Amino acid sequence: MQRIRLRYTKRGRLRFTSHRDFQRAFERALRRAEVPMAYSAGFTPHPRVSYANAAPTGTGSEAEYLEIALAAPRDPETLRKLLDESMPLGLDIVDAVEARTSGLADRLTASVWELRLEGVEPAEAQRAVEAFLAAETVEVQRRTKNGMRTFDTRGAVVSLEALPAQVDRSPDNACAILRLVVRHLTPAVRPDDVLSGLHAVADLAPPVPAAVTRLAQGLFDEESGTVTDPLAPDREADTAAPPTAAVNADAKAPEGPAA
């Protein structure tokens, strides 16, 4: 059984699709692309698809991950193209690699987020960022399935910055852009929680909902302070390992009878 790991995006209006909506679209794409899926055992077999740390509904993303198990080997890049052609525009399959290491979910320990705050001056956002970073704790409340819960957002935020104002921006169209790195802790701290924290410490209140995009997620490198590509270990292992024998056999054209 071959395992393939995929990176996909949620762009434009498709950021409003729920995780369940994406699952339906992806399973339809698997059927259209005639992917030889492996199935679970039991009375109601399901295609073996593992989703990892999906972004909240309403947020865009350039870095969502999943893993599929195949009953027959396929070339990862060829499979990626077939699946991407079968997906709705905005839900794009942008990377594929054969899984040659374990623990993909364990390598998703942090995310890089971008928050676009229309109607907020960059200077105002900068003051709020400074107040947030200066605080030891920033507690916020969020309603969960178990009721209202209070938790600290400051401890999960590794870095937070207000990007410089855009030079081509109209003076009448204020827009601040925040870039932050957030660790994946329990309970999970989401971008809207950080916005609540900025409101709590600096009364920052964007007049319209923020446009939120996940730019990357992966293993947080303590030395460099960056979030690394979670598929890199599989690529490195792939270059050192021999190609899958069955894939090589499929790639060879059968020889016809001698003339």
112-145: pLDDT as tens digits: 999 999 999 999 999 999 999 999 999 999 887 7
- Residue 252 pLDDT class (50, 70, 90 cuts): very low
- Residue 250 pLDDT class (50, 70, 90 cuts): very low
Average pLDDT, integer, range 248-255: 44
**Using CA atoms, how far apart are residues 13 and 234, in angstroms rounded to an integer?**
32
* Pair 212, 113: CB distance under 8 Å: yes
The pLDDT assigned to 239 comes to 81
53-65 residue pLDDT tens: 999 999 999 999 9
The pLDDT assigned to 187 comes to 86
The pLDDT assigned to 171 comes to 60
259: β partners: none
Q: Range(s) for CATH 3.30.70.580 in the chain?
A: 2-106
193-225 residue pLDDT tens: 999 999 999 999 999 999 999 999 999 999 888
- Residue 1 pLDDT class (50, 70, 90 cuts): confident
Percent of the chain surpassing pLDDT 70 = 90
- Residue 232 pLDDT class (50, 70, 90 cuts): very high
Q: What is the CA radius of gyration of the chain?
A: 22
82-112 residue pLDDT tens: 999 999 999 999 999 999 999 999 999 999 9
200: β partners: none
With a cut of 80, say whether residue 167 has pLDDT above it: no
CATH of span 2-106: 3.30.70.580
Handedness of CA 50, 52, 57, 60 (dihedral sign): negative
The pLDDT assigned to 238 comes to 83
26-83 residue pLDDT tens: 999 999 999 999 999 888 889 999 999 999 999 999 999 999 999 999 999 999 999 9
CA–centroid distance for 43 within its chain: 32
7-25 residue pLDDT tens: 999 999 999 999 999 999 9
What lies within 8 Å, CB to CB, of 244 at 6+ separation is 2, 73, 98
The pLDDT assigned to 258 comes to 42
Q: SS3 for 28?
A: helix
What lies within 8 Å, CB to CB, of 4 at 6+ separation is 67, 68, 70, 74, 76, 79, 96, 97, 98, 99
Average pLDDT, integer, range 226-241: 90
**Using CA atoms, how far apart are residues 223 and 220, in angstroms rounded to an integer?**
9
Q: Domain 108-227 belongs to what topology?
A: Alpha-Beta Plaits (3.30.70)
